[in-house]
Amino acid sequence: MTKQDFRSRDAKLGFLLVLPAVILVILVVILPIISGIQISFTSQRVVGSEYEFIGLKNYFELFEDKQFIASLGKSAIWVLANGFFQTLAALLIALLINQPFRGQNFVRTWIILPWAVPAAVTAILWRWMFDASSGIVNTTIKGLDLVQKPVLFLANPDIAGMSLTFVNSWRYIPFLTIIFLASLASVPEEEYEAARVDGANPWLQFKSITFPNLLPTLTVLGLVGTLWASNVFDIIWMMTRGGPGEATTTVPVLMYDMAFYGYNISKATAGAIIFLFVLIIFAFVFIFANRKQFVVASETFQDLSK
């Protein structure tokens, strides 16, 4: 078999193998989006009801809708607080527990638990612990004389967002930490040995070996983590339903509420499309700025198929 044969067969096989995943994504994500764009140009109120084509009316209405504009702002803050903070915290925790210590295996296995239980459990846990009258958090800080009156973690509009950010971070940081740990474990030990022989101090080792090796992971998590954060719905919905008032009404929460409780699916879909558009711009800028990290090609395999 000549190398040319090998390469073209390789290419065909490679393409065929990834095709099922691509088709599934097109079926349940891309097609619904196209369908969603169609819905957003209509006046449909509930699934299956009569509707007519109204062009961009839903969009114009949304741009004048103070509630929607406010939810965009809430989402922006939410994404900054969650996406950015979580990735950074997870990286620090991973570095902290990467060095051997007694109980490291226990930590590496069980740190993941908050991520692995249903969001419903998370919501029950923290709604109960944050409870104003009988919650353990309030009982404790009152017992320690830190506060006079109970803190309304979920009912005070100034605090609810922070409480939810804490809960959402509690849930996602463990998972991100595990991914960083796995990535740290993949750094070749020889590189550190060589650096130590050269007398590099720990900071220099981090800067010249650990960080560059982590960079692809950091970039992908920076992108995916931000997108995950922006689309968080379950925790907010189950803990505050966007309240108190509209203090924690991010775009996904507002859209869901508008579609299924406000009986206006076309306008809700239009709002989601606007949000999607913002996220796409973010993703393009992010990927372009970090384009080197997103190249999956490993040279070895290019050589093999040449």
Partner 1 sequence: MRLFVIILIMFILLAPFLWILLASFRPNMELVRNQSLIPNSLTIENYVSLFSKSGYWQWIINSFIVAMYTVLISIPLIVAGAYSVYRTYFWGRNALSLFLLSVYIFPTALLVVPIFRIFNDLQLVDSHLGCALMNTAFAVPFGIWLLQAFLKSLPPELEEAAAVDGIGRMRTLMQIIIPQVAPGIIAIAMFAFIVSWTEYLFAMTLLLSNDLHTLPIGLTGIVFGQYRVNWGFAAAGAVGSAIPVFLLFLIVGRWFIRGISAGAIK
Select 1 or 197, whichever has its Cβ closest to partner 1.
1
The verdict on 160 binding partner 1 (CB under 8 A) reads no
Give the shortest CB-60-to-partner 1 separation in angstroms.
Answer: 19
When the beta carbons of 68 and 228 are compared against partner 1, the nearer one is 228
Task: Pick from 160, 164, 223, 247 the residue near partner 1 by CB under 8 A.
Answer: 223
Residues of this chain, 171-210, that bind partner 1 according to CB under 8 A: 174, 178-179, 181-183, 185-186, 189
CA–CA gap between residue 219 and residue 104 (Å, rounded): 26
> What angle is formed at CA 85 by the lines to CA 84 and CA 89, rounded to 5 degrees?
125
Residue 2 contacts partner 1 per CB under 8 A: no
**Tokens standing for 208?**
């010249």
Rounded to a whole number of angstroms, the minimum distance from the CB of residue 187 to partner 1 is 8
Q: Residues 81, 153, 259, 267: which binds partner 1 (CB under 8 A)?
A: 259
Q: Distance between CA 279 and CA 232 in Å, rounded?
A: 14
CB of 113 to partner 1, least distance (A): 6
d(CA 185, CA 169): 24
What is the footprint of partner 1 within residues 80-139 (CB under 8 A)?
93, 96-97, 99, 101, 105, 107-121, 123-129, 131, 133-136, 139
In the complex, what is the shortest distance from the CB of residue 214 to partner 1, in angstroms, rounded to a whole number? 12
d(CA 242, CA 275): 17
Taking the complex as a whole, the smallest distance from the CB of residue 234 to partner 1 amounts, in Å, to 4
Is 54 a binding residue for partner 1 by CB under 8 A? The answer is no
Helix ranges (DSSP H) in 206-264: 211-230, 234-239, 251-260
Alpha-carbon gap, residue 234 to 122, rounded angstroms = 10
Measured from the CB atom, the residue of 63 and 294 that comes closer to partner 1 is 294
Q: How many residues sit close enough to partner 1 to count as binding (CB under 8 A)? A: 112
Contact with partner 1 (CB under 8 A) among 83, 150, 161, 252: 252
Q: ∠63-66-71 over CA atoms, to 5°?
A: 90
Asked if 224 interacts with partner 1 (CB under 8 A), we say yes
CA distance 121 to 29: 27
Residue 275: enclosing H or E segment and its boundaries? Answer: helix 265-289
261 binds partner 1 (CB under 8 A): no
* Minimum distance from residue 174 beta carbon to partner 1 (Å): 6
State the Cα–Cα distance between residues 202 and 192, nearest whole angstrom.
10
Give the CA count within 13 Å in the CB-facing half-sphere of 216: 14
